[in-house]
Structure 1
Amino acid sequence: MSDKPSGSAVDNDVPSLQELRVSIDGIDQQIHQLLNQRAVCAQQVADAKFIEFEAAKAAGEDPQEVLFYRPEREAQVLRKVIDRNEGPLNGKVVAHIFREIMSACLALEKPMQVAYLGPEGTFTQAAAVKHFGHGVIPQPQQTIANVFSQVEAGESNYGVVPVENSTEGMVTHTLDSFLNSSLKIIGEVELRIELHLMAQEGVEAGAIKTIVAHQQALAQSRQWLDKHWPHVERVAVSSNGEGAKMAADDPTIAAVAGNMALEEYNLVSLSSSIEDFSNNTTRFLIIGREPVGASGSDKTSIAVTTRNKPGALFHLLQPFQDAGVMLTRIDTRPSRTETWTYVFFMEFEGHVEDPKVKEIIEALTEQSVVIKHLGSYPKAAL
């Protein structure tokens, strides 16, 4: 019986390093050829869509604009990638690779413009990259309201806005923006939030007079800042990217932001992982002008306005109980149109085309003042 360990350098079953390198080169060539085949197919898809569009116009119909991006289709593809993966690569790692392949191929059909809460280096930009890949044209905006208006005006194809944080709750500016907007939620993305305290390289700790960040980031690191920087003024700014930009221009300012801002503005991390909770996660919504078809694993968001009367909330919740549908989120905001009237933002599993969801919508319509469908969209695949 041999005493040599399995997989050792003298194992005759293991190819030589040179043979392995030749194999990798051959596989890379095959991958390259397949990538180009897929890209050609994507270009043909674009041509086919234009032909259908022009044929509809010639027939006297009034077709909608050509839709190149289909969120439900991409969610289905990514789920299949994860489900069929056999390793050794992790399923989500492979899905991220496919995400970039689809992004590059979609850019061949039509480059998409995506607005997000800027400037460069924000977590919203990171969320946009995670959801769309690097093949889109980023359009940073100063405020959440600007993201909405940019998409509404058609200056951007889609927008990305933060909606809730696992430790600090809902982003009210985003919720309020939906009340007067015709835009639909077409997707979601979750991002693990790791915060750094950053400043210019070579700056001494004693030189820091102000710490800046978005109010959510300051809240998410409040305990850590109280312990380590208790006497330094904290100032909330429009975004973490804006805070990092300020730190890059002023050696007396330190910023709380993420990795992307650290790299974008050539800052150094004074301390990393300063968020108070290790599972700190922010959820973002993708907004667009057109509704999305069912993907097979979806969520629906609605806004329901009702008067403040006994049993109002109970009657809103009862249809979900009766239909056996999971309500995943509910938040309340005061209505701005009538005193003591409230808007309930409700999120639940299913698509508006599902029979059970239709029953819920009908039941809520009967008892509410106003009901607004904000969108049905695929659950985050990555």
Structure 2
Amino acid sequence: MKITTLRRKIDQIDSKIVSLLGDRAELVVKIGQEKAKANLNVHVPQREEEIVTRLMRQNRGRFPAHAIRPVFREIISACRAVQAPLSLAYLGPEGTFTHLACTRRFGGSAHFVPVHTISDVFAEVEKGNVEYGIVPIENSSEGVVSHTLDMFVDSDLKICGEILLGVSHSLLSKSGDLRKVQKIYSHPHAFAQSRKWLEANLPRVPLFEASSTAAAANLVTKDRTAAAIASELAASLYDLKVISRKIEDTPCNITRFLIIGRSGPASTGHDKTSLMFSIKDRVGALHRILEPFAKHQINLTKVESRPSKTKAWEYIFYLDIEGHLADESVKAALALLEEECLFLKVLGSYPREHSIES
């Protein structure tokens, strides 16, 4: 009888929650109407982060603090979709880690558009077919995704945010039987990140490259002698069985993704700015470009170089720094930096990601 009484109380609370969600959605619609009148962006990422941060800080009960973010991500996503679903292009097909990053950041009510290449992601945003694009930029084990960096040379799109995703690989097949595996498909990065496990468990099995981990999973649906290294999301999407989980060599295997759009967000006070530039070829040139940041006490979080592809041995540098373009210290440092550069391009200022999705 006591359990029945307690369950009845839970039912009453659940009914209140549903009613309050309806009230919240009504207010979101009204805000959307006011934004339309003022010609303002519907999606304000810094506002969403403020909501989650405030609620996590206010949480005093037994509800786990780490669960606040995923719960309210879906609430915010569903309420936003009442106005119009946020549309996002990503490196497909369904089931890639980029797809997983999209759902973890924007929730299940967003409209996801899978495309074939990183170039296609940029193109969809540039044409205005979607609000944002999501592209991989670097992995903690395998380093930078050079094609993504190269795309920024000619694109006017801005980096609007970043997503840090804990990447865990699984070996998938139709049968779920390790003994039946005669070939393995996956993306080259997934093979590299699972090298030790493969050498220990399937040393003689040939490896075949696929355009993505999800494409590898799709190939396996047609071949019962094959396996794929992919995500568990791919297993559910392509009706495959998991042979082995967490086969990556490094337990802290994190991939960073960039959210790209046509304009960047306002300062939040916890931001990062990404730059690209080329420098004059002279003695001490690299020291000269780092000096302005030291002078204004700006922390550099990433330095990367790529061939310019216009002249032999000429390089383009990519920097991530702490701070927003609107900050006076950042403005002053960039003014000094520009004096030493052949060209300088700000790729965007955006909120720093502190939490790692998994």
TM-score range, shorter chain: over 0.9
User: Are residues 274 and 173 of structure 1, via their aligned partners in 2, closer, same or farther at CA, if it must alter by over 3 Å?
Assistant: same
Asked whether the 8 Å contact 2:170–2:247 carries over to 1, the reply is yes
Structure 2 counterpart of 1:89, from 56, 63, 67: 63
What is residue 349 of structure 2 aligned with on the other side?
376
| Structure 2 stretches lacking a partner, 5+ long | none
* Segment drifting more, 180-189 vs 225-234: 225-234
Query: For residues 236-255 of structure 1, what are the structure 2 equivalents within 5 Å?
Result: 236-255=209-228
Q: Is the 8 A contact 1:73 1:295 kept in 2?
A: no
1:46 aligns with 2:32: yes
Q: Deviations over 1:78-128 (max 9, x none)?
A: 222222222423323112111111111111122121111110111111100
User: Could you say which residue in structure 2 is the equivalent of 1:21?
Assistant: 7
Q: How does 1:121-132 map to 2 (within 5 A)?
A: 121-132=95-106
Pick from 358, 362, 377 the counterpart of residue 331 of structure 2: 358
2:48 is paired with a residue of what secondary structure?
helix
Letter in 2 for 1:234: L
Which amino acid in 2 is paired with 1:26? Q
Residue 306 of structure 1 corresponds to 279
Q: Distance in 1 between matches of 2:244 and 2:252?
A: 18
Between the aligned partners of 1:230 and 1:174, the Cα distance in structure 2 is: 32
Q: CA deviation at 1:19?
A: 2.6
Judged with a 3 Å threshold, the aligned counterparts in structure 2 of structure 1 residues 35 and 222 are, in CA distance, closer, same or farther, namely: same
> What SS does structure 1 have at the residue aligned with 2:249?
coil
2:239 maps to which of 263, 266, 289: 266
1:144 is displaced (CA, Å) by 1.0
Residues 171-210 of structure 1: pairs in structure 2 closer than 5 A: 171-201=145-175, 205-206=179-180, 208-210=181-183
**Other structure's SS at 2:221 match:** helix
Do the aligned partners of 2:177 and 2:243 also contact (CA within 8 Å) in 1? no
Distance 2:270 2:258 in 1: 16
Matching residue of 1:62: none
Query: What is the CA-CA distance between 1:22 and the residue it aligns to?
Result: 2.1
Displacement of 1:52 after TM fit? Answer: 2.4
Instruction: Return closer, same or farther for 1:202/1:351 CA change in 2, 3 Å cut-off.
Output: closer
Q: Distance in 2 between matches of 1:204 and 1:25?
A: 45
What residue identity is the alignment partner of 1:316?
I
Which residue does 1:324 correspond to in 2? 297
Partner of residue 258, structure 2:
285
* Identical counterparts, % of pairs: 39
**Contact kept in structure 1, 2:90 and 2:135, CA below 8 Å:** yes
Q: Could you tell me how far apart the structure 1 residues matched to 2:176 and 2:38 are? A: 60
Is the contact made by 2:280 and 2:340 (CA closer than 8 Å) also made in structure 1?
no
For the aligned residue pairs, the C-alpha RMSD in angstroms reads: 1.6
Cα distance, 1:203 vs structure 2? 5.4
Distance 1:373 1:102 in 2: 30
1:93–1:308: structure 2 CA closer, same or farther, 3 Å change rule? farther
Question: What whole-Å deviation, never above 9, does each CA across 1:224-251 have from its counterpart, x for those lacking one?
Answer: 1122111122122211110100111122
| Segment of structure 1 superposing worse, 360-369 or 299-308 | 299-308
Deviation at 1:328, TM superposition (A): 0.8
Q: Secondary structure at the match of 2:339?
A: helix
Q: How many angstroms apart in 2 are the aligned matches of 1:89 and 1:343?
A: 48
In structure 2, distance between residues paired with 1:167 and 1:112: 32
Match of 2:229 in 1: 256
2:197 counterpart of 1:224: yes
Counterpart amino acid of residue 167 in structure 1: S
Q: Contact 1:121–1:241 at 8 Å: present in 2 too?
A: yes
**How many Å apart are 1:381 and its aligned residue?**
5.5
TM-score, structure 2 as length reference: 0.95
Partner of 1:333: 306
The 10-residue stretch of structure 1 (228-237 or 186-195) with the greater mean CA deviation from structure 2: 228-237
Task: For residue 235 of structure 1, give the secondary structure of its aligned residue in structure 2.
Answer: strand
Contact kept in structure 1, 2:304 and 2:317, CA below 8 Å:
yes
SS in structure 2 opposite 1:369?
A: strand
Deviations 1:191-230 (A, max 9, x none): 1111111111265624x33211111111101111122111
Q: Highest Rg: 1 or 2?
A: 1
In the alignment, structure 1 residue 163 sits paired with structure 2 residue 137:
yes
The answer to whether the 8 Å contact 1:307/1:340 transfers is no
CA offset digits 1:35-94 (Å, max 9, x no partner): 1111000110111122223xxxxxxxxxxxx52111122222222222222242332311
Determine whether 1:115 maps to 2:83: no
d(CA) in 1 for partners of 2:301, 2:178: 46
Sort the Cα spacing of 1:31 and 1:131 in 2 relative to 1 into closer, same or farther, 3 A.
Answer: same
Matched residues, number: 355
Q: TM-score, with normalisation over the residues of structure 1?
A: 0.89
Q: What is the distance in 1 between the residues matched to 2:317 and 2:219?
A: 37
Aligned to 1:297: 270
1:179 match: secondary structure = coil
- Runs of 4+ aligned structure 1 residues displaced above 4 Å come to none
Question: Is the contact made by 1:299 and 1:347 (CA closer than 8 Å) also made in structure 2?
Answer: yes
Paired position in structure 2 for 1:235: 208
